[in-house]
Structure 1
């Protein structure tokens, strides 16, 4: 299946099933969100790495517009639905401030190896214990997928994107396992440093990019 979608390129990776809250403040994306919400249509979030638009992303559905500010800015709640691959970027669309893309949706095998995922989850819990973190994934190990935990294992943006490009759950599980096999010994050997490191989180306004499309 091939179709046209409006796109909102961001320097993040969104996975199918992921809930993503965004603050929309740029005029081009305020227009995109208004139109998609009114027409009950999804939009795409392709990943931008080093200011370059990548060819993979996730289709996103608007769950709700939580708040509209006096200046037209919005808080929205979305959920990722499926992985797409960009075939062609349409940078200029008549009467639109935003861009779009012709995309297709590659087959994505969702069935993984339950025993492999149990081992991955055991390693993730070990990692979080070493980091004094506590996370509730709200699913049993039998129900959880690689997408559910990919943001919680210390991947770089490039690694998160590489996992997005793996279209078989068994491959994604193996990618997680290899990362954890490499990461756990390093973390467990950093006891003295961990005492000095504080993990701080904050909300960000994610603006769009003046990205460049890499043609191949």
Structure 2
């Protein structure tokens, strides 16, 4: 029988080993947190984080006896579990939680009826072996390009994330798989790019893709920095129409 997980659709992609803080205010997800907290000691307190492909979640009715409308949302099929590490209950019943990405999975079925929140049957996607030598060769090249990318981001100085990127550059791991997940989560990539990296078959494939993406982003940053006037002077006011 396939494992079943609570599913939390988000507009972001979670990777194994990365921290994801969340503010829980909708009643259905409060119920999810209460469910996880009530699990017996030693039971993994995990739920699946899946990026939204398009659409949004329709609010679920809380009227007694009312049937829940289907969520008007299309999900990607590959996600990552979030393990509950810290829970703070607020006076009005909302929660602030801290989670950590744990393991990748593929959604094989989604159920919007049996619980207030989505649940899904999943198959686990362990990181396969067999290409460790190639990953070991790729990792230093990707690390070098990533360091160049971080230097360009810090030099640009137009992002609030500059300090965070500086901290990341001082703590880059050597393990190829861990490195591939960290880069995928911290580089300024689109959700679609991040999703493709999460769904990559193995570490070597992910690192090859990151080498292409980082080279592209570094080249773009280099060209932007070559513009001889402040970027603010190039901004065009947006029409109200």
Q: TM-score range by the shorter chain?
A: 0.7 to 0.9
Contact 1:118-1:142 within 8 A present in 2 as well = no
State the Cα distance separating 1:74 from its structure 2 match.
0.6
Change in 2 beyond 3 A, CA 1:194/1:22: farther
Structure 2 gap ranges (5+): 56-73, 155-161, 233-241
- Quick one: which of 34, 42, 49 aligns to 1:45? 49
Q: TM-score, normalised by structure 1?
A: 0.82
Deviates more, 1:22-31 or 1:110-119: 110-119
State the Cα distance separating 1:88 from its structure 2 match.
0.8
- Between Structure 1 and Structure 2, the one with more helix by share is 2
- Report the secondary structure of 1:92's partner residue: coil
| RMSD of aligned Cα (Å) | 2.1
Change in 2 beyond 3 A, CA 1:109/1:16: same
- Larger RCO (alpha carbons 8 Å, 6+ apart): 1
The answer for the alignment partner of 2:78 in structure 1 is 56
User: Matches of 2:10 and 2:91 in 1, distance apart?
Assistant: 25
The answer for the alignment partner of 1:103 in structure 2 is 122
User: Matches of 1:32 and 1:19 in 2, distance apart?
Assistant: 19
Change in 2 beyond 3 A, CA 1:136/1:181: closer
The answer for the alignment partner of 1:210 in structure 2 is none
Q: TM-score, normalised by structure 2?
A: 0.74
Contact 2:5-2:47 within 8 A present in 1 as well = yes
The answer for the alignment partner of 2:206 in structure 1 is 172
Equivalenced residue count is: 194
The answer for the alignment partner of 1:135 in structure 2 is 167
1:85-113 deviation per Cα after TM superposition (whole angstroms, max 9, x unaligned)? 111111111xx311201111134226462
Change in 2 beyond 3 A, CA 1:139/1:131: closer
User: Matches of 1:83 and 1:141 in 2, distance apart?
Assistant: 21
1:153-211 deviation per Cα after TM superposition (whole angstroms, max 9, x unaligned)? 221000000111102000000010011222222211111389436xxxxxxxxxxxxxx
Contact 2:9-2:50 within 8 A present in 1 as well = yes
State the Cα distance separating 1:121 from its structure 2 match.
1.3
